[in-house]
Structure 1
Amino acid sequence: MPVAWDEFRLVRAIAERGALAPAAAHLGINPSTAFRRLAAVEAGLGTRLFERHRSGYVPTPAGEAMAAAAGRMEEEVARFDREVADRALTPSGLLRVTAAATLVTDLLMPMLGRFRARYPKVQLELIVSEDALNLSRRDADVALRATRDPPPNLVGRRLATIAWAVYGPVDGPGDPADACWVTPSEAVAGGQFARFVAARAGPERVALRLNTVQGLCEAISEGVGIGPLPCSRGDRIAGLRRLSGPEPELAGSLWLLTHPDLRHAARVRAFMDHVVAEVAPLRPALEGRSIR
């Protein structure tokens, strides 16, 4: 029997997530609906697409083939969307932008208002995520990322160095050797922050670990401990002071990235040019060269 495109998407979502509930959530449907649709597809094809185990759904060879076909179909749809977008002559339509929460609050949000004022026909969708979304599948059109190694399949601009230093409350210990620490955990940025703190303090002096950089500033400001912060943020907080110079081992780069097929689309080009111009005067602060 012919299988609808939506059923291919369903099978791929289950294969990627290993369970009905997260696959249904990804597709915006109820788990019971996903269960009924999968049963109907299997009945129509006359074969099982998944083995049901306690640990989850494991695709059979037929399920793997169908999931792979869905992936190829998604790529073709995304390629068509990019070709259509590339033909637009004026900046208009939907633009999906992704960035981590800290970049959104500290950097990006003020830029969006000015961009909208200049290009009112562009509708923005902001995806706040710590994950590297797949720009090839149009999960987003443009990504603002703090990374040392941007994906090789994307194109864009390196905007600035992101400098980090150690900060603490102005009325706290002046010597890091006497202080407790706040740090991102091993799961963040490949463990570079955790290694940095471990080289300066034993585990008994780590007062708080976070699985994200979000919340670091608040924890340090509240006196939980000293810790690393981006200079562009730490230098703006009146109650904090630098306890070190910029730390080279924590430095990263700020990149603005898009898919090669989208770089000439009018709305993408306009947005990237806008962000490049907006970031330029902020480079001294981002690079730790502008101290309060």
Structure 2
Amino acid sequence: MALHWDDFRLVKAIADRGGLTHAAEALAINHSTAFRRLAAIEASLDARLFERRRAGYVPTAAGEAMARAAARMEEDVVTFSRAMAGKGVAPAGELRVTAAASFVSGVMMPMLGRFCARYPQIRLDLVVSEEALNLSRRDADVALRASDGPPPTLVGRRLADVAWAIYGPACGPSTLEDRDWVSPSEGVGGGRHARFVRARAGTGRVRLQLNTVLGLADAVEAGIGIGPLPCMQGDGRPGLVRLSGVEPDLASALWLLTHPDLRHAPRVRAFMDHMAEEIAALRGLFAGAPAT
């Protein structure tokens, strides 16, 4: 008869408690079942595991060896269970992250560098896209998105408020009147940024539309026109200057999102915790506070 984990548990329980009655109680089985199982184990091993004495069951050398083996197995089970719960296991595996080009080219790369140094067993696959990839289809594991509110099918954290202002080239006039504009396309922010520009400039003064924030910043810096930009992007360019205060109508938030099925995966938790720590130090800049 091949031995099973329950056989080792029974022998250990008898050795620990000095008898069948207390061992059976600890294992939630009846006395007769424990008696029959012990007899079957000894028969299969062709060895006596306990001396039956008036004071109780005393393990033989074979019984002590089997009880020690059971203790080691029990410890391995506990260690493995903790590991599967994410305790004491270094996060590992591939993690696909998606973010917009404006965030990747600005502050994200140094953050990812520190993440890779901190978690060398995680391989990052970074998908740079202005489109909201479908996390429900697992197009990405984690998304960094600027949004008024994430879809209800995803879970995550609101990392920072994202303020916008109007920017122009540093070498140009400091006024908004009689200026050409560049505008986000209708696909950016649900079209509200484009509507904002049309309301300020009129359609006749919009010289260029782009679907990326990074392209907008390049266009403003090139002198094609003035336009709205996230303060984190505009303030980080020496060639740009703010021409307005923070525009409340354009405000959004930076979210770190994942699918509910992945939220407890160690590599996902590690990335989300790391990015939350990193971005917390920059919340003021995202919100439009001047750099100090």
Question: TM > 0.5 between the two?
Answer: yes
Distance 2:120 2:177 in 1: 53
Helix, strand or coil: the match of 1:215? helix
Give the structure 2 partner of residue 204 of structure 1: 204
Residue 258 of structure 1 corresponds to: 258
State percent identity of aligned pairs. 63
Say which is worse superposed, 183-192 or 158-167, in terms of deviation. Answer: 183-192
Partner of 1:27: none
Tell me the alpha carbon deviations over residues 1-53 of structure 1, each in whole angstroms, 9 at most, x when there is no partner.
xxxxxxxxxxxxxxxxxxxxxxxxxxxxxxxxxxxxxxxxxxxxxxxxxxxxx
> In the aligned structure 2, how far is the partner of 1:221 from the partner of 1:131?
24
Q: After TM superposition, list the pairs within 5 Å mapping 1:3-22 onto structure 2.
A: none
1:12 alignment partner in structure 2: none
Deviation at 1:237, TM superposition (A): 1.4
SS at match of 1:135: coil
The answer for the alignment partner of 1:218 in structure 2 is: 218
Question: Structure 1 214/225 Cα, relative in aligned 2: closer, same or farther at 3 Å?
Answer: same
Aligned to 1:74: none
Give the aligned partner of residue 168 of structure 2. Answer: 168
Query: CA, structure 1 residues 96+87, in 2 after alignment: closer, same or farther (shift >3 Å)?
Result: farther
Return the alpha-carbon distance in structure 2 between the equivalents of residues 144 and 187 of structure 1.
17
Distance 1:142 1:246 in 2: 29
The residue type equivalent to 1:228 in the other structure is: P
Q: The residue matched to 2:109 in structure 1 has which SS?
A: helix
1:144, 1:190 → 2: CA distance?
17
Indicate if the aligned counterparts of 1:97 and 1:141 stay in contact, CA closer than 8 A: yes
Could you tell me how far 1:87 is from its partner in structure 2? 6.1
Describe the shift of the 1:121–1:291 C-alpha distance in structure 2 as closer, same or farther (beyond 3 A).
Answer: closer
Unmatched segments (≥5 aa) in structure 2? 1-83
Relative to structure 1, the CA distance from residue 138 to residue 107 in structure 2 (aligned partners, 3 Å threshold; closer, same or farther) is same
1:208: how far off? 1.1
CA distance in structure 2 between the aligned counterparts of 1:285 and 1:166, rounded to whole angstroms: 16
Whole-Å Cα distance in 2 between the matches of residues 133 and 101 of structure 1?
A: 14
**Distance in 2, Cα, partners of 1:138 & 1:208:** 34
**Structure number with larger C-alpha Rg:** 2
Query: Secondary structure of the equivalent of 2:233?
Result: helix
Q: Tell me the secondary structure at the aligned position of residue 282 of structure 2.
A: helix
Equivalent residue pairs, number: 208
User: Residue deviations 1:67-123, cap 9 Å, x none?
Assistant: xxxxxxxxxxxxxxxxxxx76643001111111111211232211110010110001
2:102/2:233 contact within 8 Å kept: no
1:192 partnered with 2:192: yes
SS in 1 for 2:123: strand
CA contact (8 A) 2:102 2:212 kept: no
| Deviations 1:120-168, CA, capped at 9 Å, x for gaps | 0001101111222222222111111101120111111100011000011
Partner Cα distance (1:225, 1:124) in 2: 37
State TM-score, norm by structure 1: 0.68
1:279 pairs with 2:285: no
Q: Is the 8 A contact 1:87 1:265 kept in 2?
A: no
SS at match of 2:213: coil
CA displacement at 1:177 relative to structure 2: 1.4
Distance in 2 separating the partners of 1:122 and 1:201:
47
Aligned-partner residue type, residue 223 of structure 1: G
- Residue 267 of structure 2 corresponds to 267
Match of 1:154 in 2: 154
Structure 1 partner of 2:25: none
For 1:157, what is the secondary structure of its paired residue?
strand
Q: Give the corresponding residue for 2:64.
A: none
User: Counterparts in 2 of 1:176-187, with a 5 A limit?
Assistant: 176-187=176-187
Alignment RMSD, CA only?
1.7
